[in-house]
Each structure stands twice: as C-alpha cells, then as structure tokens.
Amino acid sequence: MVNSHQDPIGSYFLELWKQNSRDSTEMVTESAEEEEAPTELNTINTYGGFLNVFPDKLSVQYTSVHLHGHDVGVVQANLPAPVKRLLYYFEIYVKNAGAKGQIAIGFTTEGFKMRRQPGWEANSYGYHGDDGLLYRGHGKGEAFGPTYTAGDTVGGGINYASQEFFFTKNGVVVGTVGKDVKGPLFPTIAVHSQNEEVRVNFGKEPFVFDLKAFEAQERVKQQITIEKMSLPQNVSYAIVRSYLLHYGYEDTLQLFDMASKSSLPPISLVQENGFNEQDNMYALNRRKTLRQLIRCGKIDEAFAKLRDWYPQIIQDDTSATCFLLHCQKFIELVRVGKLEEAVAYGRFEFEKFYRLEEFDNLVKDCAALLAYEQPHRSSVGYLLEDSQREIVADTVNAMILFTNPNLKDSPPGCLHSYLERLLRQLTACYLERRSLNGDQGEAFDLRRVLNSGKKH
C-alpha cells in the first residue's frame, strides 16, 4: 500500500494540477510581469540652480550662465530603467542648442552627483552633443558618434541580451558600448550652457527610432547564434525518438521512423550519450493504449486495463494516481452533462479523500464544476481542457515506467523524457546567466524561443 506521501510520482503530478489551477486563476507569469517604467523627470532629485523643469515634467531649460564644469543642470527620470525585458529605450528632442550645445543623454546610478555630466563620474555613461564623444565613468571622452544640435532627436537605450548601451541620432544607431554596471540605472539628461532646451520622450509618443524593428533584429541575431550550434543529425533524431518512446506515442514513433529512414542511421546513444532506449521501450503498447483511453475520456476502461495489467498501481485507492483517475472520471461525467451521475460518483469516491489535506482543494475544484451552467467558462474550466487529461495520462505512464525492474534512475527517469531534461538544463543555464547579469533581461520563455525559430 502506498499513499501520496510515499508516492513521489503521484505527488509530482498533483503539483502540476495545482499549478494549472493557480495559472487559471492568477493568469500571471514572470514573462508577463509589468514593471514600472519612467514616465517623467524627477523634479525632486535635481540641482535646480542651473535648470528649469517645465510643468509637464518632460522639458528642461538651462537658465543660467555656467562659470565652470560643476555648473551642470542634470535631471534623472522618476524611475530606473526596467530590466525584465530585451531592450529599454528613451529619446530627447533638442529644441534649442543654446550657447554651446553642451547637451548630454545617458544613464546614471541613484547616487550620481547631480552637478556633473553623465559619464564624468563612476558608474555613469553619457553621449555628449557638443563633441560627439562618449564618456563612461571618467572625464576623458572617446570617439563615438556625430555631434547633435537643435532639431535633432537623440536616444539612449540598454540591450540586456548583449549587455550594452546603445545611442541613436535621428532614428539611426550611432554606436554601442559594453555595460558593466549591474544595479538600477536612471535615464539622465544634462544641459550646460545658456538657453539649452530639450524635451524627453519616455515612450508616451512614438519614437523616431524604430525600436520594434531593432528588437526584431536582435531576436534574429539570437536565433542565428542558436542555429550555429552544431548538433549531429542522428543525435537530434534520437532525442525526439526518446520523447515519443517515453510518452508512449507508438503510432507517431512508427511514422517518425519511416520518415527518418533516408537520414543517417542513429548512433548508439547508450554508449555515447548515456541514453537507454530499452527503458523507454518498456510496455510501450500498453502505455499507448492507456494514454488513448484517458485522452478520450474513457476512464472506466483505463481502470479495467490497469486492474488487469498493473494492479499494484491502483492497489491503494487513496493514492495520488487513483485520486487523479477518479477526478477525471467525475470531470468526464460533467463534460457530457451527466450531473446526477457525477454527484453520486463524487459522493462515493471523494469521501475518502476529504480527510487528506493534500487533496482537499482539488476535490473542491472538481465539485465546483457543478455550480456553473457553463463550467468551461468558469474559474475551474481548466479541468475540462485537454491539458488536464494529459496530466492524468502522464501520471499513469510514469507509474507504469516505474514498474520496470531495469529502470536505474527512477523516479526522475519516469517523470521526464531526455528532451525535457535537456530543456530543464537549458532553463537553469539561462537563469544562471541572467543571475550573473544582475537578474537583468527577459525571463526565459520556451514558447517564445520556439515560435521565433518558426518565423526565422
């Protein structure tokens, strides 16, 4: 007899169900998180003796006559640049270049000295209009781009993928520079001679620079880098084949093998890559049959097959596997409108699970289906989706693989195919790289990566 505490496989798939439930109600993922972005200039943290910020908090003017290098009018944005994205960008329009055109655009940290040009102090970067030089952390500029003056639109951005700053003039990138600051960075502008006036655009109005096209180019670069990675054809063939084997897709596997006959013969993955195809061949036809039954909603037939073939899997009627199957039977009755039969079935089968805390909320989700005239449109409508059937089918598939006496790395080997393990490793590497960059850049989104590959 096994219960859910002794059943790591069943418990794993229960957690997947709970995650489905949370996703359906919260509808929030890291990649969709909305970060606050700059919207206006910070009129509090500025050195007001040399500039005037207009009431719109987007326009500034140098109102004094500067006498030395410290008489700079500097102002930061009200918020740092958001970091959980591929790019950040803002622009300024030079309305008046003033007496000397000593205007600058760049990025600075929170503790930046507000009487110095961006780029003159450590952890700051600035592209200056009077000489076209780039300054990064010291007073000596580097050749970078053209000068800019009245009538020009200049932009500054951060490319989190390449960890670079980039600057534009009138819609064209003029140059990039490596970014070695990990903390929050504030969009910053500076004016330094009489009557200089600029207006900032944080994205409320269309940019002169085509940011969407630039982002698309950056994604193509990423895709090309990925495609340059060499993977022998027979290895990729074997990885896909192992996935089909693992989940019992026998018919698809046969078609895949037929389509692959003209390609190179597969190498011995057991010896060269640690793959053991025999483990996944175990009970392939039976696993296929059970998956088909569950995906068609024929839970009674699936139970019957399990009693005949693998009675040990459903011996404990309070196991997580049995719970998932009973829930799916209840869901299928609701799906076809047999509500009275569903109520009777639920009263009989769910009673033993009410006393077990790990099942309580999931039982309530199932029961909640009865409360709606159109349950598929309700907060528990996710239970009627194909993904819920797949969770149950995957549970049974994993439990059958677990009965293989030759399986060496169970239960992990039962839960994930080699392809999924590679993807999990890819995700871990991506997160580690992001961590090394100060948690800056997009969250890993496998769907986006796969879709970008299709478009390219």
* Length of the chain measured in residues: 456
Pairing of strands 142-143, 124-128: unpaired
> How far apart are the C-alpha atoms of 18 and 21, rounded to whole Å?
5
CA dihedral of residues 395, 397, 398, 401 (deg, nearest 10): 160
Give the residues of the chain that fall short of pLDDT 70. 1-6, 22-33, 46-49, 66-70, 262-279, 408-412, 445-456
Cβ atoms within 10 Å, residue 298 = 16
Residue 199 tokens, joined: 């207006």
Give the orientation angle of helix 386-402 with respect to helix 320-335, to 10 degrees.
150
- Give me the pLDDT at residue 451, please: 61
Q: Decide if 94 contacts 198 (C-beta within 8 A).
A: yes
> How far apart are the C-alpha atoms of 234 and 242, rounded to whole Å?
12
- Give me the pLDDT at residue 120, please: 93
Q: Decide if 149 contacts 101 (C-beta within 8 A).
A: yes
- Give me the pLDDT at residue 408, please: 67
- Give me the pLDDT at residue 63, please: 85
Residue 115 tokens, joined: 């009487």
- Give me the pLDDT at residue 442, please: 80
Residue type present at position 160? Y
Q: What is the mean pLDDT of the chain?
A: 86
> How far apart are the C-alpha atoms of 160 and 437, rounded to whole Å?
8
In three state form, how does the secondary structure of the chain look?
CCCHHHCHHHHHHHHHHHHHHHHHHHCCCHHHCCCCCCCCEEEEEECCCCEEECCCCCEEEECCCCCCCCCCEEEEECCCCCCCCCEEEEEEEEEECCCCCCCEEEEECCCCCCCCCCCCCCCEEEEECCCCEEEECCCCCEECCCCCCCCCEEEEEEECCCCEEEEEECCEEEEEEECCCCCCCEEEEEECCCCCEEEEECCCCCCCCCHHHHHHHHHHHHHHHHHCCCCCHHHHHHHHHHHHHHCCCHHHHHHHHHHCCCCCCCCCHHHHCCCCHHHHHCCHHHHHHHHHHHHCCCHHHHHHHHHHHCHHHHCCCCCHHHHHHHHHHHHHHHHCCCHHHHHHHHHHHHHHHHCCHHHHHHHHHHHHHHHCCCHHHCCCHHHHCHHHHHHHHHHHHHHHHHCCCCCCCCCHHHHCCHHHHHHHHHHHHHHHHHHHCCCCCCCCCHHHHHHHHHHC
- Give me the pLDDT at residue 453, please: 53
Query: Which residues share a beta bridge with 136?
Result: 125
Q: Decide if 387 contacts 19 (C-beta within 8 A).
A: no
- Give me the pLDDT at residue 216, please: 92
- Give me the pLDDT at residue 233, please: 74
Backbone angles phi, psi at 134, to 5 degrees: -105, 130
